[in-house]
Amino acid sequence: MDLLPLMDRLGIQYAVCTDHLSLYAGAGKGLDRLRKIFELSRGRIYYLGVYDPRKPSECLKAIKEALNWPGFAGIKIHPSFHGVAAEAPTYRAVWELAAEHSLAVLTHSWSVSPYNTAQKYSTPERFERYIDEFKNVRLILAHAGGRGTGRNEALRLLNTYENVYTDISGDIYCRRLIESLVRFASPDKILFGSDFPWLDPRSNLARVFLAEVPDDAKEKILRNNALKVYRMEESGKQFP
Domain assignment present for 60:
yes
DSSP state of 164: E
Cα–Cα–Cα angle for 50, 156, 160, rounded to 5 degrees:
85
CA separation, residue 204 to residues 107, 137, 223 (Å) = 19, 26, 14
Query: By mean pLDDT, which of 53-67, 210-224, 226-240 is the weakest?
Result: 226-240
The pLDDT of residue 235: 64
**Region for residue 155 given its phi and psi (left: phi exceeds 0; alpha: psi -120 to 50; beta: otherwise):** alpha
Domain assignment present for 128:
yes
The pLDDT of residue 20: 87
Domain assignment present for 240:
no
Domain assignment present for 35:
yes
Domain assignment present for 179:
yes
The pLDDT of residue 82: 97
Q: What is the mean pLDDT of residues 89-103?
A: 98
Domain containing 199 equals: 3-232
Could you tell me which residues are beta bridge partners of residue 76? Answer: 50, 106
pLDDT > 90: percent of the chain: 87
**Does the predicted TM-score (pTM) go above 0.85?**
yes
Domain assignment present for 102:
yes
Task: Decide if 78 contacts 85 (C-beta within 8 A).
Answer: no
Count: domains in the chain = 1
Domain assignment present for 239:
no
Predicted confidence (pLDDT) at residue 240 exceeds the cutoff of 70: no
- Express each pLDDT in 126-172 by its tens digit: 999 999 999 999 999 999 999 889 999 999 999 999 999 999 999 88
H helix and E strand count, the chain: 12, 7
- Residue 141 belongs to a domain with what CATH number? 3.20.20.140
Q: What is the mean pLDDT of residues 209-224?
A: 97
